Amino acid sequence: DTGVSQDPRHKITKRGQNVTFRCDPISEHNRLYWYRQTLGQGPEFLTYFQNEAQLEKSRLLSDRFSAERPKGSFSTLEIQRTEQGDSAMYFCASSLGLTGGRDTQYFGPGTRLTVL
Amino acid sequence: DAKTTQPNSMESNEEEPVHLPCNHSTISGTDYIHWYRQLPSQGPEYVIHGLTSNVNNRMASLAIAEDRKSSTLILHRATLRDAAVYYCILRDASGAGSYQLTFGKGTKLSVIP
């Protein structure tokens, strides 16, 4: 399977702990995105990378959140000092980076975070 | 990205065609119309996109109104696997907009056996 993969698929943690999620995009894709989805809502954009450069961050991405994409390959999303409000599905997506509005994103299966 | 409006939910009988509407009255001339869907407990999945002309692919058809203020996603024969939330999203082709996808609440499609 050459789709987007995410690890872990589920994470349960206690409030105040740090967690880290990993995303492996489709190999030839140079753009990588992180989204968060809470129950009953559509996914919300968090941040995106063009190769290794983080080019855009949402206001949702508080100081407790940090994302990296070393060498423009896999990416990690770390949440420090987790809060119960961080409980959500976290999706990673990747795309080729086509110009204009034709670029399509391919999503991973997501990581479900539960903060107790 | 410009705003879209979709019905909250729709129902269809299995093996019948489904027409999912989307209004985007503030669409600009450079906006592409994209559709994604999200099956239960899965990540969103790209379905189809278009700019002005109607588009077909193996999953669906996209019919775009002549004034581009609305569009319709057509599933020709709904199957139980098509039960999902369908999102209509506008993407700015000018290069000035963000690369993010802005999801609304979408339309929850139920397929009745």
- On whether the CB atoms of residues A76 and A109 are closer than 8 A, the answer is no
Distance between CA B111 and CA A53 in Å, rounded? Answer: 43
Per-residue pLDDT at B91: 87
Counted residue by residue, chain A has a size of 116
**Predicted confidence band at A1 (pLDDT cuts at 50, 70, 90)?**
low
Mean pLDDT of A65-77: 94
Chain A residues whose CB is inside 8 A of the B87 CB are 42
**Predicted confidence band at B24 (pLDDT cuts at 50, 70, 90)?**
very high
Chain B residues whose CB is inside 8 A of the A56 CB are 98-100
Q: Are strands B18-23 and A75-79 parallel, antiparallel or unpaired?
A: unpaired
**Residue B2: pLDDT over 80:** no
Per-residue pLDDT at B95: 62
User: From start to end of B1-113, where are the E strands?
Assistant: 9-13, 18-23, 31-38, 45-50, 55-56, 61-64, 70-75, 84-92, 107-112
Measured between CA atoms, how close is A97 to chain B, in angstroms?
Answer: 9
User: Which residues in B76-98 are b (16+ Cβ under 10 Å) and which e?
Assistant: eebeeebbbbbbbbbbbbeeebe
Per-residue pLDDT at A14: 97
A12 versus A71: which is more confidently predicted? A12
Within 10 Å of residue B75's Cβ, how many Cβ atoms? 21
Does the beta-carbon distance from B95 to A105 stay under 8 Å?
A: no
Element (H, E) at A78: strand A75-79
Average pLDDT, chain A: 94
